């Protein structure tokens, strides 16, 4: 069992991997997966994944369908536990503490998640954002809740579009707005890490651009992990990229290296569309 502060360095860090100098100071390690294996029943979906996520940076996970990237991101806030018959071995450290041994609700407060399809609750915009506060027994009064809701909607770049209708149904929003609402809902509880599983796959280019700008703005206070099928999106938004194939992490490096001069043939074949 791990102890606080004992998280070992995982194998997949870009330092010393041939990346050219960027002039940026080295970032602190926020979240780490160490020797992660994952099984759906007898089927092994992840094979010995070790990966560090740098604080206040965006890491993209790419790979073909069924490669395990969505499975992996779901382990990072223990969403996999909602699926029966699954088994996980290995460790996941958040600030040096193994999240697999902590209270799951506490973990999900710190590690928020946004899914591929926006999933607002059948409530008002306001209630959607405030929902996490109620669930977590927020101690502030109504004014404090209003403040958090407004702040979260501002952070999610949605406030200007909804400030006059926050008490209307969330279902009246467009797809892109609903997705930003889900991000606002995740931000309301001030997560330290934000996981996004293909957040733009159902959005048009304008809504996608808004979400991407939002990620840039959020990374100064949050560590972000994004799963995406869109190579250009990974190249545009992320600082680091990990390439998954058949449940294994083939290559991890700065996004610059992955998209300009990847080290592995499999990665190059995938990012250039030669894969398969």
Partner 1 sequence: MRHFSIELEELNHKLLEMAGLVEASIHHSVRSLVEQNRDLAQQVIRDEPQINRMEMEIDGLVTRLLALRQPVARDLRFLTAALKINTDLERIGDLANHIAERALSLMHHPLVKPMTDIPKMASLVQSMLLKCLDAFVKGDADLARSVLLADDEVDALRDAVYAELLVIMQRDPGIVPAAVDLIFVARNLERIGDHATNIAEDVVFLVKGIDVRHHAEHIEKTGDPAA
Say whether 221 sits in a helix, a strand or coil: coil
Residues 236-265 that bind partner 1 (CB under 8 A): 259-262
Least gap, CB of 236 to partner 1 (angstroms) = 11
How far is C-alpha 114 from the geometric centre of its chain's CA atoms? Answer: 7
CB 192 within 8 A of CB 30: yes
Closer by beta carbon to partner 1, 109 or else 231: 231
- For partner 1, give the closer residue by CB, 190 or 269: 269
Instruction: Please identify, using beta-carbon distances, which residue of 5 and 25 lies nearer to partner 1.
Output: 25
Q: Which residues, in sequence order, are CB contacts of 215 under 8 Å at separation 6+?
A: 58, 196, 224, 226, 237
Question: Residues touching partner 1: how many (CB under 8 A)?
Answer: 15
Which of 2/256 has CB closer to partner 1? Answer: 256
Q: At what angle do helices 142-155 and 125-135 cross, to 10 degrees?
A: 120
Spatial CA neighbour of 92 closest among 214, 184, 2, 182: 2
Residue 24 dihedral angles phi and psi, to the nearest 5°: -85, 145
Please state the closest distance from residue 210 (CB atom) to partner 1, in A: 20
Mark the segment that binds partner 1 (CB under 8 A) among 118-126, 132-140, 143-151, 230-238. 230-238
User: What is the smallest separation between the CB atom of 53 and partner 1, expressed in angstroms?
Assistant: 23
Nearest approach in angstroms of CB 9 to partner 1 is 25
Q: How far is the CB of 246 from partner 1 (least distance, A)?
A: 20
Q: Which of 235, 237, 249, 250 binds partner 1 (CB under 8 A)?
A: 235
Min dist CB 237 to partner 1, Å, is 15
**Spatial contact of 240 and 17, defined as CB atoms under 8 Å apart:** no
Bridge partners, 92 (sequence order): 33
User: By CB under 8 A, what part of segment 120-149 binds partner 1?
Assistant: none
Q: 29-40 and 86-94 as β-strands: parallel, antiparallel, unpaired?
A: antiparallel
Distance CA 193, CA 128 (A): 20
Rounded to the nearest whole angstrom, what is the least distance from the CB of residue 183 to partner 1 in the complex?
A: 26
Judged by CB under 8 A, the chain residues 14 through 53 that form the site for partner 1 are 20-21
Please say which residue, 105 or 232, places its beta carbon nearer to partner 1: 232
Which residues make beta-bridge pairs with 62? Answer: 243
Nearer to partner 1, 133 or 200 (CB): 200
d(CA 146, CA 129) in angstroms, rounded, equals 10
Contact call for residue 62 and partner 1 (CB under 8 A): no
Angle (deg, nearest 10), helices 205-218 and 142-155: 120
Q: Footprint of partner 1 on this chain (CB under 8 A)?
A: 20-21, 231-232, 235, 259-262, 267-268, 271-274
């Amino acid at each position: 069992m791990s102890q606080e502060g004992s998280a070992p360095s995982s194998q997949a860090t870009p330092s010393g991997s041939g990346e050219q100098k960027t002039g940026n100071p080295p970032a602190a390690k926020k979240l780490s997966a160490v020797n992660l294996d994952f099984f759906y029943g007898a089927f092994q979906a992840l094979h010995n994944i070790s990966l560090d996520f740098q604080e206040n940076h965006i890491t993209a996970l790419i790979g073909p369908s069924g490669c395990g990237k969505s499975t992996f991101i779901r382990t990072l806030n223990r969403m996999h536990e909602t699926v029966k018959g699954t088994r996980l071995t290995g460790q996941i450290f958040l600030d040096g503490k193994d999240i697999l041994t902590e209270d799951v609700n506490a973990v999900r407060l710190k590690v928020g998640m946004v899914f591929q399809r926006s999933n607002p609750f059948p409530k008002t915009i306001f209630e959607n954002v405030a929902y996490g506060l109620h669930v977590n027994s927020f101690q502030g009064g109504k004014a404090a809740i209003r403040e958090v809701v407004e702040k979260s909607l501002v952070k999610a770049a949605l406030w200007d579009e909804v400030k006059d209708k926050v008490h209307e149904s969330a279902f009246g929003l467009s797809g892109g707005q609903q997705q930003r609402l889900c991000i606002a809902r995740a931000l309301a509880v001030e997560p330290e890490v934000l996981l996004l599983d293909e957040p733009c796959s159902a959005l048009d280019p304008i809504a996608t651009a808004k979400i991407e700008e939002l990620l840039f703005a959020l990374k100064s206070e949050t560590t972000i992990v994004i799963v995406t099928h869109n190579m250009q999106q990974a190249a545009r938004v992320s600082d680091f990229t990990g390439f998954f194939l058949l449940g294994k992490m083939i290559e991890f490096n700065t996004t610059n290296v992955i998209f300009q001069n990847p080290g592995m043939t499999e990665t190059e074949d995938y990012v250039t569309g030669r894969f398969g």
